[in-house]
């Protein structure tokens, strides 16, 4: 025998290995610290049981019979689950009858496949491309009634859309929109629509196990994990449901470790503890962890059948970057303060650097938006004068105000973080109905929004985000089924402020998300948040911000 393996009640522990076996173990299990001499620990789970059993074929070890039985049972469960799911994707598989749908409504085959995977496994992170009908797929997994009632957690502005345009339009299920953070006697319903902003108040109800299933729409809302109240509430909700579904085309906005928290909401423990995840999958850049091999993580999540993703065929977006004028006078009023902050970022104490970095990031982006706001408005006016409906994306209220004044004659409507859900519904209706040709939308307020593609094919980014996935979400409001034209995405950037650095870094952040979501499509080096802010600070200190 080459060592011993036992289960300590929480994880697998391997000890007493000969040096050459330890070397081979570290080669086969990259998460094992290279400097460790043992004992070696591994998280519990059927996938890990299968991997350990495979390793023991080559290097048999001493095991208690109960532990061996546990390992073999895990291996068999993993193999059986994989075979069950693979049968769903063979050409001669016949989807079950669509239950609970309105007459004339049914799932497409690819939606029926995903719904059946959820019913087989009890959990799925569905990463289908924007516009492939993830919402309807999730409903299809629930309409057989076996996992009702279900909690549906969505962004606040999407509750009405979920109820009116999906639940009532496609199914015979009854839906109730949860009002407020204070629990009350709930009416009889099949689906209860929560928002991420109110679930923290309902944790005691979640803990009772009232809901058999949970669907997290735009699950990237949980990417910060239990450090937030909504993350803590989601953890309790997930722990007390037997079916868990996550929906998003963009699970990672910034760096790969966000994926750990997203996965944890769907299958707690699938990636071990956060410390396990950091050790096995990550390296560190500044204060931010970075996934070393995004492709490998993406492949692993598919291998354990936690992730399913299908891509749309065709429909390429016409992306046009255009440089616009930058008003140096606007920047001059704030330049002295920004240079002071930049100096602190580069040479201040640890605490000072952190605070200064946050303030510099906020101020630089706002000043950049203001300095090019009139130029952006002038460009958008050209499109509007041609009669083209335009979706104009920004971030700062002060920038929206300038756009509103410059383009007031076009009666723009707002869909940002400042409007109530009902105000957003009215803005959406006005734009779709043709009452206005201009909707100003927040870069981070449009996830899941549907219907705009019936009216508009041009999106203009008047301000930029550090994360390319944010831009992708906004474009996805137009590039989706129902769009009859090629979508044009226009990025208006200036040669000043934070824009040059953001433009240069957008491709870098994409690599973490791309490798995980689409393994095998190639990656690029990634800078940490600390690196990008330091680069921004150095740019200001060079005195060439508007050069």
Which pLDDT value is given to residue 529? 47
pLDDT at 519 (0 to 100) = 75
**Nearest-angstrom CA–CA distance, 42 and 39:** 10
Pairwise CA distance, residues 168 & 166, whole Å: 6
Mean pLDDT of the 247-259 span: 77
- Give the pLDDT mean for 319-343: 72
Alpha-carbon distance 95 to 351, whole Å? 58
Average pLDDT value for residue range 141-152: 93
| Angstrom distance (rounded) from CA 406 to CA 49 | 63
Instruction: Kindly state the average pLDDT of the residues 190-206.
Output: 96
Q: What's the CATH number for 99-308? A: 3.40.50.10810
Give the range among 43-57, 187-201, 398-412 with minimum mean pLDDT.
Answer: 43-57
Q: Looking at residue 273, what is its pLDDT?
A: 84
Number of residues in the chain: 547
Work out the end-to-end distance of the chain between its first and last CA atoms, rounded to an integer number of angstroms: 69
Residues 31 and 90: beta-carbon distance below 8 Å: no
Report, as an integer, the average pLDDT of 396-408: 94
Please provide the average confidence, as pLDDT, over all residues in the chain.
Answer: 84
What was the pLDDT predicted at 527? Answer: 40
Query: Cα separations (Å) of 353 from 208, 254, 340, 373, 534?
Result: 45, 21, 11, 29, 9
Task: Indicate the helix (H) or strand (E) that contains 414.
Answer: strand 413-415
What pLDDT shows up at residue 229?
96
Predicted pLDDT at 167: 95
Pick the CATH number of 318-541 from 3.30.565.10, 3.40.50.2300, 3.30.1360.120, 3.40.50.300: 3.40.50.300
Which of 63-72, 277-286, 485-494, 520-529 has the largest mean confidence? Answer: 63-72
Of 9-18, 218-227, 452-461, 501-510, the poorest mean pLDDT is in 501-510
> How far apart are the C-alpha atoms of 417 and 394, rounded to whole Å?
11
Q: Which of 310-314, 480-484, 495-499, 518-522 has the lowest mean pLDDT?
A: 518-522
Per-residue pLDDT, 286: 39
Instruction: Reply yes or no on whether the pLDDT at 13 is more than 80.
Output: yes
Cα separation, 62 vs 44, in Å, equals 18
Residue with the bigger pLDDT between 508 and 122: it is 122
d(CA 443, CA 463): 8
Per domain, the residue ranges of the chain are: 4-84, 99-308, 318-541
Segments of 115-222 assigned E as strands = 123-126, 150-154, 175-177, 191-195, 213-217
pLDDT given for residue 520 in this prediction: 64
What's the pLDDT tens digit per position in 52-101? 999 999 999 999 999 999 999 999 998 888 888 888 988 888 888 878 89
Of the candidates 96, 114, 105, 222, the one whose C-alpha atom is nearest the C-alpha of residue 167 is 105
CA neighbor of 115 nearest in space, from 92, 98, 91? 98
Is pLDDT at 226 greater than 50 in this prediction? yes
The whole-model pTM stands at 0.66
Torsion of CA 244, 262, 193, 135, to 10 degrees: -80
Of 132, 137, 98, 139, the closest CA to residue 114 belongs to 137
Query: How far apart, in Å, are the Cα atoms of 341 and each of 54, 220, 286?
Result: 55, 31, 19
Task: Please state, in angstroms and rounded to a whole number, the distance separating the CA atoms of residues 87 and 211.
Answer: 29
CA distance linking residue 233 with residue 201, whole number of Å: 8
CB 98 within 8 A of CB 143: yes
Range with top average pLDDT, 17-26, 348-357, 538-547: 17-26
Cα 310-312-318 angle, rounded to 5 deg: 140
Q: Would you say residue 114 has pLDDT above 50? A: yes
Q: Supply 375's token pair.
A: 């130029």
Helix (H) / strand (E) element for 266: namely helix 258-266
Structure confidence at residue 523 (pLDDT) = 44
Residue of 182 and 513 predicted with greater confidence: 182
Rounded-to-integer distance, Cα 335 and Cα 339, Å: 6
- Specify which of 156-160, 213-217, 265-269, 462-466 reaches the highest per-range mean pLDDT: 213-217
Residue-wise pLDDT tens digits, 349-396:
544 555 555 666 667 788 889 989 999 999 999 999 989 999 999 999
More confident residue, 207 or 270: 207
Highest mean pLDDT among 142-146, 278-282, 401-405: 401-405
pLDDT of residue 255: 67
Q: How confident is the model at residue 542 (pLDDT cuts 50, 70, 90)?
A: low
Q: Is the preceding peptide bond at 493 cis, omega within 30 degrees of 0? A: no
On the question of pLDDT at 296 being above 60, the answer is: yes
Mean predicted confidence (pLDDT) in 487-515: 75
CA–CA dist 200, 198 (Å, integer): 6
Q: Say what percent of the chain tops pLDDT 70.
A: 84
Helices (H) and strands (E) in the chain, counts: 19, 18
In angstroms, the CA 231 to CA 234 distance is: 5
pLDDT of residue 525: 40
Non-local (6+) Cβ contacts of 386 within 8 A are none
């Amino acid at each position: 025998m080459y060592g011993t393996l036992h289960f300590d009640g929480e994880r697998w522990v391997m000890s007493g290995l000969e040096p050459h076996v330890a070397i081979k173990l570290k080669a086969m299990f990259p998460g094992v610290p290279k400097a460790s001499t043992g004992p070696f620990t591994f998280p519990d789970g059927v996938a890990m049981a299968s991997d350990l059993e495979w390793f023991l074929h080559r290097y048999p070890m001493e095991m208690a019979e109960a532990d061996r039985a546990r390992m073999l049972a895990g291996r068999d469960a993993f193999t059986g689950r994989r075979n069950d799911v693979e049968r769903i994707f063979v050409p001669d598989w016949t989807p079950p009858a669509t239950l609970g749908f309105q007459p004339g409504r049914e799932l497409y085959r690819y939606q029926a496949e995903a719904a059946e995977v959820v019913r087989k496994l009890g959990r799925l992170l569905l990463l289908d491309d924007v516009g492939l009908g993830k919402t309807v797929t999730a409903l299809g997994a629930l309409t057989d009634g076996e996992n009702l009632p279900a909690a549906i957690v969505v962004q606040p502005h999407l509750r009405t859309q979920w109820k009116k345009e999906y639940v009532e339009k496609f199914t015979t299920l009854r839906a109730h929109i949860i009002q407020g953070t204070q629990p009350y006697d709930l009416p009889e319903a099949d689906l209860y629509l929560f928002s991420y902003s109110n679930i923290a108040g309902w944790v005691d109800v979640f803990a009772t196990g009232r809901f058999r299933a949970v669907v997290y729409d735009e699950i990237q809302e949980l990417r910060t994990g239990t450090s937030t109240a909504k993350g803590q509430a989601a953890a309790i909700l997930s722990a007390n449901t037997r079916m868990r579904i996550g929906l998003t085309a963009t699970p990672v906005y910034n760096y790969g470790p966000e994926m750990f928290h997203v996965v944890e909401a769907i299958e707690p423990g699938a990636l071990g503890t956060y410390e396990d995840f950091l050790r096995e999958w990550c390296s560190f850049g500044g204060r931010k962890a970075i996934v070393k091999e995004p492709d490998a993580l993406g492949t692993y999540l598919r291998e354990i059948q936690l992730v399913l993703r299908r891509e749309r065929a065709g429909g390429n977006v016409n992306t046009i970057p255009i440089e616009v004028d930058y008003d140096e006078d606007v920047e001059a009023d704030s330049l002295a303060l920004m240079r002071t902050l930049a100096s602190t970022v580069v040479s201040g104490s640890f605490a000072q650097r952190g605070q200064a970095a946050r303030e510099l990031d906020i101020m630089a982006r706002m000043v950049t938006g203001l300095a090019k706001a009139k130029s952006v408005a002038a460009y958008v006016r050209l499109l509007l004068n041609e009669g083209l409906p335009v979706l104009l994306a920004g971030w700062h209220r002060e920038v929206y105000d300038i756009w509103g004044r410059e383009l007031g004659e076009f009666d723009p409507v707002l869909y940002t973080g400042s409007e109530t859900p009902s105000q957003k519904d009215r803005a959406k209706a006005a734009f779709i109905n043709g009452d206005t040709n201009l909707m100003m939308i927040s870069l981070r307020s449009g996830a899941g929004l549907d219907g705009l593609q019936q009216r508009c094919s041009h999106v203009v980014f008047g301000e930029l985000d550090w994360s390319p996935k944010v831009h992708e979400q906004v474009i996805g409001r137009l590039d989706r089924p129902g769009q009859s034209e090629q979508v044009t995405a226009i990025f208006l950037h200036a040669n000043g402020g934070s824009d040059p650095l953001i433009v240069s870094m957008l491709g870098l952040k994409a690599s973490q998300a791309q490798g995980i979501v689409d393994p095998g499509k190639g990656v690029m080096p990634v800078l940490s948040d600390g690196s990008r802010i330091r680069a921004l600070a150095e740019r200001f200190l060079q005195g060439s911000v508007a050069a």
